[in-house]
């Protein structure tokens, strides 16, 4: 992009066809941003590191420095501060959203940062940057208490406090981008994210623009040639053989304008000469040459498997829902519609119609899908209806990603489809954002900025006066609460499946009765094993789902089936490994306890020691983990002839994933075992059996959303299975057959589940009633970590008590995963009834000095889990 010259045009070339194995995406890695940051510092926030002060240099009074232009720069490094720099006339103007290279720190190391404020010296220096913002993205001042950024301490050109006077600003060394990468609207969104999710602005901006774009992946300069107007006579008089051939070829190909021109290389290759004859033609005014920047990449939209755009007549429910959505779109005011419709109720069809309505009004749309749902099939469905479409997901190469982004930026895409980070696509004239499967936890980014793509979508729609459609068969409790309480939120329902497919037979298997081997519980129950053999015997296929997260251990008595329960809540306790408890055994008045950890309630966060012996029958307690290797072993023993493949996101690159899926589709694999990610792709007609190995796995997650996740998983499998004439059966294995989440899911009773779940949430001050924030701190040294956590807790208490804030603070306590990669992890959890309280608390926390001793701090606002 840097190499683009003014006046040159931009084109998007296509090279070859889309290879099949690139049609989809892998689920684990998301865009470039997490990789860019390097692995360890992981985007953690060091609250006001002390190394940033070195940016100031003693010198004159600043006013004598060359040029009168000042910009404010936000760096990708974790410094939660913005810095001012002077810009020379030669590189002026520098716009907000462009990147610059500037000297930073005592050693003046060159660093790249985003320009986030820009202005020229005016009569009143204090308004300087403010006025330069084209009114859209004001640089907030220190007095604005909603802005925890340290911009107040940034030296201004003059003005500022006495101590700062006399400091001289450093000069910008160069401007990197010719045009802003981030426009005014996105800058405003970045500031909101920076404030709301407690993340330095520079980091937010870095995450907004794909790494491929920043690196200019796949960009090259192309030289092109075309015939000048009225050159016919001159051509007739040409002597040189090659020159004649070139002119003839250009004429034959009708290359008479930059748009219809031929690439120089292609031209001289076909004629078989060097560039010399072309140059001579140019000198004679017969041809004209130019340069343009091209983003060369394979097309991002799969070809060769095009599907026909089916002519669909909407049913009554769909018509009604579309009418409501269209009305809101036509009002050109911000609004959110929850499209609550069961699987196969025609939601996607409605998204397409709503997008069409927006395009008809000359506006554009963004569609967010969970990464794993971004398969070729889904993308094809949209590209069959819309031609000017761009896709953004992690399955693209860097060059493809850059090409797609440039296409969007150039206004050549009306519809952008992508994963979480596509919410940052540089779309102008935004009219609609669709968030499909809005309840999906994968919309939450787990490195800084820890944003939720759905919530950012809503905010972006609000800033753009656009409409936002959230679709789901099992909406999140937060969204349901918003629909009840907030204006601008509406609900539309699609209660029926479009085609009257029979629901699969649902069979509950009570695992409390299954046998326990030396390795723990058998993962495949008798009834499931039997049905597996039957199905494979008939040449049919099966899918087994297992959430293999190793830490989801639960405590269980194999002898009397007793599980540990919470004293305050009706939930089972989860085992947490922890060093904090001490090592070895522990003797208390109630007997011996396991010393390597404790059991915890994920609702009220009560902790208890785990008895070695079962309190009911006195036999030894067991910790049960359900790993996928265990499942493979068992399958091999029980079905020695079956061809089994395992898919899990941790162990598989995107390519392998699609290879296995297609092998399964072709019948080369009998049993596919894998994690929840498989639940999304269940449309293999020959699959007649789906086994959820443990529907409880997510119930045992130490998280208050465990019930919700369990309900969602079972509903999803139920909705997906049974997609052909062969009737399907779903086996739901559980140790907790009476758990409401499982009962409601088997009955398909969403309303019942919601009512039940809300009772617990309300009683424990959890979302959607209260807001939640999690602070995870980590360090190699436990003592150091403990001290830092105490300091953090003390500071939070100071803010809460000092401001009389209504907030509950818990911890520091060992995090659920208390040690990762030799880092000890501790957690502080904050609960507050109002989002505003949370914002104020973290704003003040951010503005206060650094926490000592310095450790890694990760702040997660609205966490989707508390791990």
Give residues in contact with ligand ADP (CB under 6 A). Answer: 310, 312-315, 318, 341, 343-349, 498
Least separation in angstroms between CB 350 and ligand ADP: 7
Helices (H), 464-506: 477-485
Please answer whether residues 157 and 63 qualify as being in contact, where contact means their C-beta atoms are separated by less than 8 angstroms.
yes
How is the chain split among helix, strand and coil, in percent rounded to 5?
A: 35, 25, 45
Helix (H, G, I), strand (E, B) or coil at 134: coil
* 74 vs 573 by CB, closer to Zn ion: 573
Q: Taking the chain, what is the end-to-end CA distance rounded to the nearest angstrom?
A: 41
Please answer whether residues 158 and 61 qualify as being in contact, where contact means their C-beta atoms are separated by less than 8 angstroms.
yes
Instruction: Give φ, ψ of 595 to 5 degrees.
Output: -95, -5
**Residue 603 binds: one of ligand ADP, Zn ion, none (C-beta under 5 to 8 A by kind):** Zn ion
**Residue 314 binds: one of Zn ion, ligand ADP, none (C-beta under 5 to 8 A by kind):** ligand ADP
**Residue 183 binds: one of Zn ion, ligand ADP, none (C-beta under 5 to 8 A by kind):** none
Least separation in angstroms between CB 553 and Zn ion: 18
**Residue 858 binds: one of ligand ADP, Zn ion, none (C-beta under 5 to 8 A by kind):** none
Angle at 604 between CA 599 and CA 608, to 5 degrees: 25
* 346 vs 654 by CB, closer to ligand ADP: 346
**Residue 601 binds: one of ligand ADP, Zn ion, none (C-beta under 5 to 8 A by kind):** Zn ion
Least separation in angstroms between CB 606 and Zn ion: 5
Q: How many helices (H) and strands (E) does the chain have?
A: 23, 36
Cα dihedral sign, 352-356-358-359? positive
Least separation in angstroms between CB 317 and ligand ADP: 9
Least separation in angstroms between CB 341 and ligand ADP: 5
**Residue 310 binds: one of Zn ion, ligand ADP, none (C-beta under 5 to 8 A by kind):** ligand ADP
* 55 vs 344 by CB, closer to ligand ADP: 344
* 545 vs 566 by CB, closer to Zn ion: 566
**Residue 481 binds: one of Zn ion, ligand ADP, none (C-beta under 5 to 8 A by kind):** none
Query: What are the DSSP calls for 556-587, one per residue?
Result: E-TTT--B-B-SSSSSB-EEEE-STT-SS-EE
Please answer whether residues 414 and 311 qualify as being in contact, where contact means their C-beta atoms are separated by less than 8 angstroms.
no
**Binding to Zn ion by residue 399, rule CB under 5 A?**
no
* 246 vs 604 by CB, closer to Zn ion: 604
| Residue 826: how many other CB atoms lie within 10 Å | 26
Q: Determine the size of the site formed for Zn ion (CB under 5 A).
A: 7
* 439 vs 602 by CB, closer to Zn ion: 602
* 438 vs 648 by CB, closer to ligand ADP: 438
Least separation in angstroms between CB 372 and ligand ADP: 15
By CB under 5 A, what part of segment 584-643 binds Zn ion? Answer: 601, 603-604, 606
**Residue 341 binds: one of ligand ADP, Zn ion, none (C-beta under 5 to 8 A by kind):** ligand ADP
Sheet holding 219-227, edge to edge: 10-14, 287-297, 219-227, 262-263
* 52 vs 474 by CB, closer to ligand ADP: 474
Antiparallel, parallel or unpaired: β 687-692 and 671-674: unpaired
Least separation in angstroms between CB 77 and ligand ADP: 42
Q: Let me know if 370 is exposed, middle or buried by CB neighbors in 10 A (0-12, 13-18, 19+).
A: buried
**Residue 437 binds: one of ligand ADP, Zn ion, none (C-beta under 5 to 8 A by kind):** none
* 420 vs 602 by CB, closer to Zn ion: 602
Distance CA 862, CA 87 (A): 40
Least separation in angstroms between CB 365 and ligand ADP: 16
Least separation in angstroms between CB 367 and ligand ADP: 12
Please identify which residue in 208, 354, 456, 566 interacts with Zn ion, judged by CB under 5 A.
566
Least separation in angstroms between CB 512 and Zn ion: 22
Distance CA 768, CA 455 (A): 14
Helices (H), 612-722: 628-638, 654-665, 706-720
* 114 vs 750 by CB, closer to ligand ADP: 750
**Residue 348 binds: one of ligand ADP, Zn ion, none (C-beta under 5 to 8 A by kind):** ligand ADP
By CB under 5 A, what part of segment 567-586 binds Zn ion? Answer: 568-569
Least separation in angstroms between CB 264 and ligand ADP: 46
Query: Quick one: three-class SS letters along 496-534?
Result: CCCCCCCCCEEEEEEHHHCCEECCEECCCCHHHHHHHHH
Distance CA 483, CA 264 (A): 59
* 639 vs 721 by CB, closer to ligand ADP: 721
Token representation of residue 553? 């251990």
**Residue 95 binds: one of ligand ADP, Zn ion, none (C-beta under 5 to 8 A by kind):** none
Return residues touching Zn ion (CB under 5 A): 566, 568-569, 601, 603-604, 606
């Amino acid at each position: 992009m840097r190499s683009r010259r003014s006046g040159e045009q931009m084109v998007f070339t296509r090279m070859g066809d889309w290879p099949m194995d690139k049609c989809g995406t892998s689920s684990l890695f998301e865009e470039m941003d997490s990789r860019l940051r390097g692995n360890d510092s992981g985007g953690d926030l060091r609250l006001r590191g002390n190394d940033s002060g070195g940016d100031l240099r003693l010198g004159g009074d600043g006013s004598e420095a060359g040029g009168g232009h000042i910009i404010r720069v936000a760096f990708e490094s974790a410094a939660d501060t913005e810095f001012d720099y002077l810009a020379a006339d030669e590189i002026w103007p520098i716009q907000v959203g462009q990147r610059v290279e500037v000297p930073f720190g005592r050693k003046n190391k060159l660093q790249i940062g985003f320009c986030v404020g820009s202005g020229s010296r005016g009569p009143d220096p204090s308004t300087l940057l403010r006025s330069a913002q084209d009114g859209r993205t004001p640089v907030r001042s220190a007095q604005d208490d909603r802005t925890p950024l340290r911009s107040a301490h940034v030296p201004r050109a003059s003005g500022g406090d006495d101590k700062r006077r006399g400091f001289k600003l450093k000069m910008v060394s160069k401007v990197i981008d010719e045009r802003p990468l981030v426009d005014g609207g996105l800058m405003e969104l970045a500031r909101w994210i920076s404030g709301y999710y407690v993340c330095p602005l520079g980091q937010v901006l870095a995450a907004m623009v794909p790494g491929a774009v920043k690196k200019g992946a796949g960009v090259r300069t192309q030289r092109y040639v075309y015939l000048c107007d009225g050159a016919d006579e001159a051509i007739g008089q040409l002597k040189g053989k090659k020159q004649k051939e070139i002119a003839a070829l250009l004429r034959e190909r009708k290359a008479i304008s930059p748009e219809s021109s031929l690439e120089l290389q292609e031209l001289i290759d076909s004629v078989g000469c060097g560039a010399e004859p072309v140059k001579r033609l140019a000198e004679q005014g017969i041809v004209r040459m130019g340069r343009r920047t091209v983003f060369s990449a394979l097309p991002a939209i799969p070809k060769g498997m095009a599907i026909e755009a089916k002519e669909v007549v909407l049913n009554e429910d769909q018509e009604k829902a579309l009418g409501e959505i269209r009305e809101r779109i036509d009002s050109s005011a911000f609004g959110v519609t929850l499209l609550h419709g069961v699987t196969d109720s025609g939601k996607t069809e409605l998204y397409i119609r709503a997008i069409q309505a927006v395009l008809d009004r000359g506006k554009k749309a963004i569609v967010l899908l969970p990464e794993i749902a971004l398969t070729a099939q889904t993308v094809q469905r949209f590209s069959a209806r819309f031609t000017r479409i761009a896709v953004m997901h992690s399955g693209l190469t860097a060059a493809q990603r850059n090409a797609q982004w440039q296409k969007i930026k150039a206004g050549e895409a009306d519809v952008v489809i992508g994963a979480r980070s596509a919410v940052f696509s540089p779309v102008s004239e935004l009219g609609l954002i669709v968030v499909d499967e809005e309840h999906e936890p994968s919309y939450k980014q787990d490195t800084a900025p820890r944003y939720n793509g759905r919530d950012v979508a809503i905010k972006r729609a609000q800033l753009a006066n656009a409409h936002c459609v959230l679709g789901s068969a099992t909406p999140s409790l937060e969204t349901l609460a918003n629909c009840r309480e907030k204006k601008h939120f509406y609900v539309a329902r699609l209660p029926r499946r479009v085609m009257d497919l029979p629901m699969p037979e649902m069979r509950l298997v009570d695992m409390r009765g299954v046998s326990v081997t030396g390795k723990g519980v058998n993962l495949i129950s008798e009834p499931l094993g039997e049905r597996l053999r039957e199905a494979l015997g008939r040449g049919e296929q099966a899918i087994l789902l297992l959430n293999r997260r190793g830490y989801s251990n639960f405590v269980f008595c194999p002898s009397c089936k007793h599980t540990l329960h919470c004293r305050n809540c009706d939930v089972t306790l989860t085992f947490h490994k922890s060093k904090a408890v001490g090592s070895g055994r522990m003797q208390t008045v109630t007997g011996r306890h396991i010393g390597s950890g404790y059991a915890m309630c994920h609702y009220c966060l009560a902790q208890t020691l785990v008895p070695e012996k079962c309190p009911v029958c006195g036999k030894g307690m067991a910790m049960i983990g359900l790993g996928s290797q265990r499942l493979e072993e068992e399958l091999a023993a029980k079905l020695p002839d079956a061809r089994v493949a395992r898919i899990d996101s941790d162990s598989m690159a995107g390519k392998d994933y699609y290879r296995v899926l297609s092998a399964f589709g072709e019948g080369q694999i009998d049993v596919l075992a894998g994690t929840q990610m498989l639940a999304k792709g269940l449309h293999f007609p020959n699959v007649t059996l789906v086994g959820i190995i443990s529907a409880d796995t997510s119930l045992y997650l130490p998280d208050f959303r465990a019930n919700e996740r369990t309900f969602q998983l079972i509903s999803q499998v139920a909705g997906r299975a049974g997609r052909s004439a062969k009737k399907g059966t779903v086996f739901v294995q559980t140790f907790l057959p009476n758990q409401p989440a499982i009962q409601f899911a088997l009955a398909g009773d969403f309303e019942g589940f919601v009512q039940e779940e809300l009772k617990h949430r309300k009683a424990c001050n959890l979302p959607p009633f209260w807001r939640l924030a999690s602070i995870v701190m980590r360090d190699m040294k436990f003592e150091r970590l403990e001290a830092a956590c105490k300091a953090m807790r003390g500071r939070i208490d100071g803010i809460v008590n000092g401001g009389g804030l209504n907030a509950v603070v818990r911890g520091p306590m060992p995090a659920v995963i208390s040690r990762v990669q030799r880092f000890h992890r501790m957690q502080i959890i904050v609960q507050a009834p109002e989002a505003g309280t949370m914002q104020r608390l973290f704003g003040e926390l951010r503005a206060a000095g650094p926490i000592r001793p310095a450790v890694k701090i990760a702040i997660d606002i609205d966490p989707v889990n508390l791990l």
